Amino acid sequence: MNKFFGRRYIISGIFIVLILTLLGRLFYLQIIDDRYLLYAQGNVLRRIYVNPARGPILDRNGKILVQNQAFYDIMVTPSQVKPFDTAEFCKLLDIDTAEFNKRFAKAVKYSRNQQSVFDKQLTPEDFAAVQERLSEFPGFNFSPRYLRTYPDSTAAQFLGFIGEVHDNDIKKSGGYYHPGDFIGVTGVERSYEKVLRGKRGVQNLMYDSHNRAKGIYAGGAYDTAAVAGERLTSSLDIRIQKLGEQLMENKVGSIVAIEPSTGEILCYVSSPTYDPNLMVGHDRGNNAAELYKDPYKPFFIRPIQAAYPPGSSFKPIDALIAEQEGLITPQTTYFCPGYYVSGNRHIKCYHSEAHGTVNLARAVAESCNGYFFMVFEKLVNRYGWKNTDSTFNIWRNNVSKFGLGGRLDLDMPSEARGNLPKASYYDKIYRKGGWRSSTVISLGIGQGELLATPLQLANIECTIANHGFYYRPHLIKGIGDKNIIKAEYTQKNYVGIDSQYFEPVIDGMQAVVENGTAAASKIPGIVMCGKTGTADNSHGEAHSVFVAFAPRDNPKIAIAVIVENSGQGASWAAPIASFIVEKYLRDSISTRPSGLTPQYFMDANRLPDLSTYEQKLKSKPVPKDTLNKLGIDTSDRKRTIKDTLPGKEKKGSRPHAVAALPKKEEDEH
C-alpha cells in the first residue's frame, strides 16, 4: 500500500508539470507573441504586394538607356462596388458598356472580396483626369506601377521589353510572381530578369467581417519594404548605336561592333528596328500587333538570329589552320589562271579574273578563290581520299574553335548557332564514302552549307585582331553599384593558332582598305583592316557584306556589317562600317577623299521590294503565349506572321539561311 501511495505522488507531479507547461505556452502565444493572430484572423487580413522599381540600364558611359516611369492600374473590389453611373465611368476610361461588363465579370470570377486589375497601364496624363473623379465610383481605386521608358528610343532589340507574366512563368517562379506582375520577355530585360526585378514588398492590412478596412496590421511590424532592382551598365556606346540605327534606316540588315580586348559589344543594330516606347503603356498590345504585321520583321533580332554564308571573312580561317598544321607557309604560292581545277570540275574565280601567282597575303588582299580552294583541299585530303570523313571532321573541329557552328553564349536569349556541317550530314546525302573534298569545296571560301550570324562574323574579326583568341561577347559589363562582371567574360578563348601566323592575313586585310575594294572607305589617319563581300540573293539584289577591325595596332573595335539587297560590300556595308569605326575612335567623322558622307547613307532607301521579299518568308502562326505576353487578346481572333526562323529540315535536305540569305557569295577583289 505504501508503494502505491508513493507512485501516486509521482504521477500527480507529472500531470502538474504538463498542465503548467501548456498554460505557459498558451500565455506566451496569446499574450506575448502575437504572430499567430495573423493566422487566426486570416479571413480578415489581406496581403498587398508592393512592386519595386526595375533597375535602370545605362550605356558604357553612364547614359541612361532605360529607366522607370509611374503608370497606374485601376483596381476593383467587386463586393465594395455600389450603384453608380456606368456610362459616365465608361466614358472616363474610354471603353463601352460591353467591355465594362466583360471586365467586371472577370473580376467577380477572380474574387468578390479581393481587388484585381480593371484597367491597366494608364499614363500619368491619362490618370490625372481619372483620379479627380475616381472617388465617385465606390469599389474602384488605383495602384501605381513602375514601367519602362526609353529616353532615346534606341536599341530596342538589345534592351527587349517586359510583359505580364503567364501561368507558366508563375509556376516556374516558385511563388514569386502573381497574376498581373511583369517579367522580361525579350532582350536584356529577359536574360537579366532576376537582377533587374528587385525584391517585392508586402503590406498586411486588416479588414472586418463586413469587408471594411481597419488599418495596417500590427502597426506594420510584419510588413517588408520593396527593394529596387539593381542597375545594369551595358557595354553599348549610345553614340555609335544611334549612328548605326540612322545609317541602317530603311534598310534590312545588322551591325555588330565588339571591343576585341574585352568582348564588350559596342554596337548592336538590327534593322528595321522600332521605338521601344511602343511596347509600354495602354496601347502596347495594338502596337505589338502592328509590328508583327510588318513584313520586314522588326522583332527578328538579326545580329544573333539571321545567318549568312561568311564568304570572304571565312577565308583566313582555313589559311590559319593550314599554317598551324604545317601544310602551307606565308610564302606558299598558287598560280591562278582564272579558275581552279578540283577533280573533274573547273571552278571559275570571281569574274574569271586571273590573279597570276599569289602568296597568302596577296590571296587575302585580292580574294583569290583558287588559293583558298587549294588550302581547303590540302586540309581535307591530307590523309587520302579514303579518310575524307575523319579528316573533314578534324577540319570542322578546328573551325568550330573560332566560334562557328555553335552559340557564343551571348547574354541574350534566342541566339542561333549558324551552321557548320558534319561529315555525317554529307554521308546522308551522298552515302558514306561517296563524296570527296571536291564535292564540298565551296566550304573553302565560306559558302555552301556554312552559315554564320553577324555576331559570329564580328567575333572572328576579334580573334584575328587579337592574334589567336577572343573574349566571349557580352552586352552587360557591370552589375549593381560595384559593377560586378561575370567571370566567364574575363577568360581568353584560344583558337589553337600561334600568334605569328596572323600577320600575313592582316597584311592582306590592310591592303583591302588601303588600295583594294574598300579604298573609298579608307579613314584618314586610321589603319583599318577589312574584307568586303557580295552575297548573291535569289530573291533580289545581292547582299552587301563587310568585316573589319581598327586600328591595326592595339585594335579598339571589330565590326561586321550586312546590308541585304544592296549589291557589293564596297558600296554599302564598307562605308557604313567606316563611319561607325571613326565615330567610336574619334567621336567625329572626317571628310573622306572619296566624298562619301553619312547623310547619303542615312537618306538612302534599300528596302527590298515586298513582292519578292515576302516570297522567302514562311507563314506560321504566332504562338499564343507570345501574343498574350505582348498584351494581345487571343480569345476571339487568330493572327499569323511571315516568320523568318528556319523550320525543321527533312533528313538529307540542305540547310537554308535565315532572312533572305544568299544561295552563293561572290567575293570582291
Residue 103's CB is within 10 A of a number of other CB atoms, namely: 18
479 belongs to a structural domain = yes
Residue 590's CB is within 10 A of a number of other CB atoms, namely: 11
Q: What is the CATH number of the domain that holds 444?
A: 3.40.710.10
The answer to whether the beta carbons of residues 397 and 620 sit under 8 Å apart is no
pTM score, whole prediction = 0.82
pLDDT digits (tens, 9 = 90+) for 409-426: 999 999 999 999 999 999
159: Cβ contacts below 8 Å, ≥ 6 apart: 57, 65, 66, 150, 187, 188, 189, 276
* Stretch among 110-119, 335-344, 388-397, 578-587 having the lowest mean pLDDT: 110-119
Q: What is the 3-state secondary structure (H, E, C) of 138-199?
A: CCEEEEEEEEEECCCCCCHHHHCCEEECCHHHHHHCCCCCCCCCEEECCHHHHHCHHHHCCE
Residue 222's CB is within 10 A of a number of other CB atoms, namely: 16
The answer to whether the beta carbons of residues 199 and 52 sit under 8 Å apart is yes
Whether 635 shows a pLDDT value over 80: the answer reads no
Please report the pLDDT score of residue 577 as a whole number: 97
- The residue that leads in pLDDT, 523 or 569, is 523
Q: Which phi-psi region, left, alpha or beta, contains residue 211 (left: φ > 0; alpha: ψ -120 to 50)?
A: left
Whether 370 shows a pLDDT value over 70: the answer reads yes
Whether 221 shows a pLDDT value over 50: the answer reads yes
- 209: pLDDT confidence band, cut at 50, 70 and 90? low
Kindly state the average pLDDT of the residues 257-285: 93
**For 349-483, where are the alpha helices, taking DSSP H only?**
360-366, 369-380, 388-400, 423-430, 454-465
Please report the pLDDT score of residue 612 as a whole number: 59
Please report the pLDDT score of residue 187 as a whole number: 93
Residue closest to 269 by CA, chosen among 254, 288, 290: 254
Q: What angle do CA 130, 135, 140 make, to 5 degrees?
A: 80
Q: How many domains does the chain have?
A: 2
Whether 257 shows a pLDDT value over 80: the answer reads yes
Whether 644 shows a pLDDT value over 50: the answer reads no
207 belongs to a structural domain = no
Range(s) of the domain holding residue 22: 2-33
Whether 454 shows a pLDDT value over 90: the answer reads yes
**271/296 Cα distance (integer angstroms):** 9
191 belongs to a structural domain = no
Average pLDDT, the chain: 84
- 613: pLDDT confidence band, cut at 50, 70 and 90? low
Please report the pLDDT score of residue 334 as a whole number: 92
Whether 367 shows a pLDDT value over 70: the answer reads yes
597 belongs to a structural domain = yes
Of the chain, the percentage scoring pLDDT greater than 70 comes to 85
Kindly state the average pLDDT of the residues 364-388: 93
Kindly state the average pLDDT of the residues 649-668: 39
Please report the pLDDT score of residue 385 as a whole number: 87
Amino acid at the residue 13: G
Residue 660, all three cell numbers: 533572305
82 belongs to a structural domain = no
Whether 643 shows a pLDDT value over 60: the answer reads no
Whether 622 shows a pLDDT value over 80: the answer reads no
284 belongs to a structural domain = yes
67 belongs to a structural domain = no
- 641: pLDDT confidence band, cut at 50, 70 and 90? very low
228 belongs to a structural domain = no
Please report the pLDDT score of residue 666 as a whole number: 41
